[in-house]
Structure 1
Amino acid sequence: MKLFLRISLFCFIVLLAGSKATAQQTPNVYRDSVVQLYGVVMTADSLRAIPSASIIVEGKGRGTITNPDGVFSIAVLKGDRITFSCVGFKNRSIEIPLNLSENQYSVIQLLVSDTAYLPATILKPRPTREQFERDFVNNKVSDDAYEIARKNTDEAQRRILINSLPADGREAINYQLRQQANKYYYSGQLPPMNILNPAAWADFIKAWKRGDFKRKD
């Protein structure tokens, strides 16, 4: 029994020492795996710098872009896969070597132009001058800012919007507060009847002339 306890204690001490050694070595390993990647991105045909090219570390959600001279610099880890991309060029990817002896890695990345082929467009003239003039006159021109503002402030258009759009939260709470204020104002007495109010009759006549009471199909 004593021999078993001694062996168990010895194994526990060995495991504890090994875990401490691993914990002490982990920061050094992580520190040594960080690499400063820098370089320039250029075109493959004319060796011209590519500004605003994207340099993305795959699977890490990190990246950077090149400056106007095509130069970039970013901190990565050994074994990371780096993708170079830019509009009008094909993507290229590189992998940081795991056996890199230094903490700096420089590259000159060349990107090849990517040609995008669009479908063919056929331009046909009008058969006659009269048809061209007719189509030109009947062509609908988009409204400018002044015309849009005039339509938005039109009274008929505003009535249509009021009747079609639902009330938002601000209008609903204001209506509820007005109802409560009116109820508290006439608390303990009969509220007035608008059937004898000339102003209410005037509003009713204006609404009737506008057609607010017409049936909407």
Structure 2
Amino acid sequence: MHQKRSYILSLLVVFLLSPFFLKAQISEFRDSVIQISGLTMTADSLRAIPAVSILVKGQGRGTISNTAGIFSIVLFKGDTLSFSAVGFKKQDYKVPVDIKGNNFSLIQLMVEDTTYLPVTIIKPYLSKQEFERAFANMDIPDDAYEVARKNTENARIRAMTRYTPVDGGEATNQYLNKQAQSLYYAGQRPPQNIFNPLAWAQFIQAWKQGDFKRKDDY
């Protein structure tokens, strides 16, 4: 009986003190969170640096500074911010654990990172004759104008029209024209184009262009 009373009394004490413990934990958690707002600038000219990647180390989250170099991020006290941007050296900033308050302003100065390229030595040709021979045998690719000129040559277009198959739209138009012609002369004999001067003119023009040549001629 005495043990039962002690157990009930312990539960009652825990129940009464639990709000105070919870409030203390919430207060401790709130004090450990901090919002850092700042500006990323160059160390030499104090010029704002946009598009700086700002990551919280070990957590895989972060933010990016805007076009004016301004950023804002929420993290815990004691975390480390990593600043990186193209053309600048990587910088780290560790938030102090004992920092006061939940808001902090930061100006992060970044130093430009100079990249040295390997030395390139340009040597001329050994003689004028060697340069002339190399220039004459140089294979210069065609520019857009030359490609367009070759694609619009009459001989090339005629050859392509003979061997390029018709597409769906052209085949449909040909079929519909034949159907319309057959329906137009339905019940009567169609006229003979042998006495049509326009048809003869088209035939002579096609013959001059070489449309009736054999495929072996190309």
Number of the residue aligned with 1:176: none
Structure 2 distance, partners of 1:93, 1:80, is: 10
Structure 1 window deviating more from structure 2 (2-11 vs 54-63): it is: 2-11
SS at match of 1:32: helix
For 2:93, give the aligned amino acid: I
Q: TM-score of the superposition, structure 2-length normalised?
A: 0.56
Q: Does 1:79 align with 2:78?
A: yes
Q: Does 1:113 align with 2:112?
A: yes
SS at match of 1:106: strand
Classify 1:129/1:96 alpha carbon distance in 2 versus 1 (closer, same or farther; 3 Å): same
Unaligned 5+ segments in structure 1 are 155-217
Classify 1:18/1:140 alpha carbon distance in 2 versus 1 (closer, same or farther; 3 Å): farther
Structure 2 distance, partners of 1:118, 1:86, is: 19
In our comparison, the structure showing a higher alpha carbon Rg is: 2
Residue 14 of structure 1: CA displacement? 3.9
Residues 100-132 of structure 1: per-residue CA shift (max 9 Å, x gap): 222211111111122222222221112123433
Classify 1:14/1:46 alpha carbon distance in 2 versus 1 (closer, same or farther; 3 Å): same
SS at match of 1:47: coil
Number of the residue aligned with 1:41: 40
Residues 163-210 of structure 1: per-residue CA shift (max 9 Å, x gap): xxxxxxxxxxxxxxxxxxxxxxxxxxxxxxxxxxxxxxxxxxxxxxxx
Number of the residue aligned with 2:22: 23
Structure 1 window deviating more from structure 2 (30-39 vs 7-16): it is: 7-16
Classify 1:127/1:98 alpha carbon distance in 2 versus 1 (closer, same or farther; 3 Å): same
Residues 59-138 of structure 1 mapped to structure 2, 5 A cutoff:
59-136=58-135, 137-138=137-138
Structure 2 distance, partners of 1:80, 1:28, is: 19
SS at match of 2:93: strand
User: What is the alpha-carbon root mean square deviation over aligned residues?
Assistant: 3.4
For 2:116, give the aligned amino acid: Y
Structure 1 window deviating more from structure 2 (30-39 vs 44-53): it is: 30-39
Number of the residue aligned with 1:8: 7
Number of the residue aligned with 2:187: none
For 1:86, give the aligned amino acid: A
SS at match of 2:26: helix
Unaligned 5+ segments in structure 2 are 152-159, 161-218
Number of the residue aligned with 1:52: 51
SS at match of 1:23: helix
Structure 1 window deviating more from structure 2 (74-83 vs 124-133): it is: 124-133
Structure 2 distance, partners of 1:135, 1:26, is: 81
Classify 1:140/1:4 alpha carbon distance in 2 versus 1 (closer, same or farther; 3 Å): farther
Number of the residue aligned with 1:212: none
Q: TM-score of the superposition, structure 1-length normalised?
A: 0.56
Structure 1 distance, partners of 2:11, 2:44, is: 64
